[in-house]
């Protein structure tokens, strides 16, 4: 995965000089967070219960949760934003999909549907709107929230 993401940058410098280390560190952190009984393994019950703990943390400290979303999802945004302009275009998302062998044909319509849902013009997704979509995806139970469908168009 690190090699595929790095290839998307086409030789330009990336915001993450050692992406493999970052991915491994994130994976380890997530497994440690899910391993509730600290036995070194994440069993089915721990894996299923993990989102419930995330929801509880969000309810207990919404501002802290938003800061976490800004760091984690913001970092993912930076990986997707190939030209570093603070906006995701259809091309940014298509490059990511193509790196994983996913179809790219419907990405423009998919992105524009979410932008319309946020009351934004088509074509470019600003960072703050992306973070709103991520928050809605995780914490808004309403099916009308544009973020509830954040990954529907990702094949």
**The domain spanning residue 48 has which CATH number?**
1.10.238.10
Q: Which domain holds residue 11?
A: 2-149
Domain count, the chain: 1
Residue 130 counted as domain residue: yes
Q: What is the pLDDT along the chain (155 residues), one digit of tens a residue?
A: 667 666 766 666 766 667 667 777 777 777 787 788 889 888 888 877 776 777 777 788 888 888 888 888 888 888 888 888 999 998 888 887 777 777 888 888 888 988 998 999 999 999 999 999 888 888 877 778 888 777 665 54
Residue 77 counted as domain residue: yes
Residue 119 counted as domain residue: yes
Residue 154 counted as domain residue: no
Q: For the chain, give me the number of helices (H) and strands (E)? A: 7, 2
Length of the chain: 155
Q: How far is CA 155 from the centre of its chain?
A: 15
Residue 111 counted as domain residue: yes
The pTM assigned to this predicted structure is 0.67
145 DSSP assignment:
S
Residue 129 counted as domain residue: yes
Q: Which helix (H) or strand (E) covers residue 56, if one does?
A: helix 44-60
Bridge partner list, 87: 126
């Amino acid at each position: 995965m690190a090699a595929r993401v790095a290839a998307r940058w086409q030789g330009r410098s990336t915001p993450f000089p050692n992406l493999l280390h970052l991915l491994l560190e994130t994976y380890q952190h997530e497994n440690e967070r899910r391993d509730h009984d600290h036995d070194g393994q994440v069993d089915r019950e721990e894996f299923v219960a993990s989102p419930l703990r995330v929801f509880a943390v969000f309810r207990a400290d919404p501002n802290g949760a938003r800061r976490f979303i800004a760091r984690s999802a913001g970092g993912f945004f930076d990986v997707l934003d190939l030209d570093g302009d603070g906006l995701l275009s259809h091309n940014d998302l298509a490059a990511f999909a193509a790196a994983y062998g996913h179809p790219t044909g419907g990405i423009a319509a998919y992105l524009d549907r979410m932008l319309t849902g946020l009351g934004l013009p088509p074509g470019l997704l600003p960072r703050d709107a992306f973070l709103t979509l991520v928050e809605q995806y995780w914490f808004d139970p309403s099916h009308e929230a544009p973020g509830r469908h954040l990954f529907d168009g990702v094949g």
